[in-house]
Amino acid sequence: MKLPQPIFKKNLPIISWIKIYAREYGVQYSEMAILCLSPKAKYHVPKPSVMQVVIPEGNNSAFYIDKTSWNELVESLNNKYTSHLKKLAGYEKEFNENGKKYVNLAQQISKTDLKKINNKQLKEIFLNYQEKLFAYSVFAWTSFILNNYIADKATRILDSYIKKHSQENLRQDLIDSLFKPEKLAAVLLLQKEIYERKGGIKSADFNKLFKKYRWLSCLDIHNKPWTREEFKKHLKSLGIVSKEKTKSFYNYIDDLNIRSDDLSYLKMAKRFVYIKDARDDFRRYGVFLASALFREIAKRIGIKREELSYLKSQEVIECLDGRISVPKKIIHSRKKGFVLYLNESNKLTCIHGDNISKILKSFNLFHNDENIKEIIGMVASKGKVTGNVVIIKGIKDLSKVKQGDILVAITTHPDYVSAMKKAGAIITDEGGITSHAAIVSREFGLPCIVGTKQATKLLKDGDRIFVDAIIGKIKKLNN
């Protein structure tokens, strides 16, 4: 079988791939990720790229893009949306408007009796859903990109003033206060509600909170809302957080004598912390509300709801039209891993099974990791600790974490909190100073190093390591 050639075939000799994220996403959401940075989104993304590919890594789908294209794309987004506060205001408005349109449509779908409509009508609802999801996802994706860019630059600006005024001893307090959101997204609102109840949750309170927040676990189509037991476990971990009141960042401004232009950028970074968190609110709540649509489509085409996640949107449409029937063996193969890219006809191609290794070889995406003994990242929460590594590749691995273990993950999200509370330290491949891992670690007072890029590959379960979250280094103690 001859594999479809990528649209970037001529560029392959000069492409330098960099990994941007790895998540437990299925085919449809990975498809959305590629389209949101492609020329299809050129109105919102001034420098789009077709040199993108999603590949399997462990239990995750990893997004890779050409390094030069990525740098140009990020810089173009910064110039368009975040070069000053006025531009950010416009971006924030569009972000919220598109997020609300997406959730409102999902809400309408949840109230529709889908069983009474025919396949053609169901297809139209699905297409409308995909359209609203795309319009919002462009902002969800770009806010993820811009948050890291802004947070890194804001940290460098703040560090320059800390050094200038010899305030190194206050650095963690300053970082905490700068990146403490002024408006709380759902995951932090839940934490606030638990803290205010001081862990004492009555039955009526639990039912209210469960109804209000059970959707937080809906990462993708194949993820389900929390069960009552899962939610109870999550609340237990939040209920024992020891919080200290963080001094307002604005109380430090006079002492640091921050210039107006730098202060403007720091304020923008502070506002963006909420945008970064809110993007997950819109997406996860929308997935939760639209679950009836996924169930009904899956039922009509003869598959399980969670399996729908592994069909391309075009395949869903063709199935509803009766033009194709996707064999279950293809879906099961894709669940084990898939490669997604734009082909020479600018159509999304999904490769699975034995063809994965062939296409990765042709894309020059095989890696030989070196025997590195020291891993470097960004300090998100200070401290030093020695412990045994537990690699978390997905939700199913969380039960492996025991008290004092070093939790090593690609990234973290709300489902991870109960395991994070047990950990002696947190290490992630991805993320920056405002990532979920960073925020939770500071709340729990745990040493945390983020942005190591390869910790999950260079470490293995049971490794004894020393985590120096003062200088941002992880050292293997066993050879």
What pLDDT, on the 0 to 100 scale, is given for residue 212? 94
- pLDDT tens figures, 402-457: 999 999 999 898 788 888 989 999 999 988 888 889 888 888 889 999 999 889 98
Residue 133: how many CA atoms within 13 Å on its side-chain side? 24
Strand ranges for 205-337 from DSSP E: none
Kindly tell me if the per-residue pLDDT of 94 is higher than 90.
Answer: yes
Kindly tell me if the per-residue pLDDT of 195 is higher than 80.
Answer: no
**Within the chain, how many helices (H) and strands (E) appear?**
17, 13
Nearest to 306 by CA among 328, 322, 285: 328
What pLDDT, on the 0 to 100 scale, is given for residue 457? 86
Please, which pLDDT band fits residue 173 given cuts at 50, 70 and 90? confident
Q: Domains in the chain, start-ordered, CATH in brackets?
A: 1-172+248-367 (no CATH), 181-245 (no CATH), 374-476 (3.50.30.10)
* Amino acid at residue number 441: S
Judge whether 331 and 310 are in contact, CB under 8 Å. yes
Nearest to 448 by CA among 385, 392, 370: 385
- pLDDT tens figures, 358-378: 999 999 986 544 455 579 999
What pLDDT, on the 0 to 100 scale, is given for residue 284? 93
Q: What are phi and psi of 403, to 5 degrees?
A: -55, 125
Judge whether 136 and 282 are in contact, CB under 8 Å. yes
What pLDDT, on the 0 to 100 scale, is given for residue 341? 97
Nearest to 151 by CA among 299, 265, 319, 3: 265
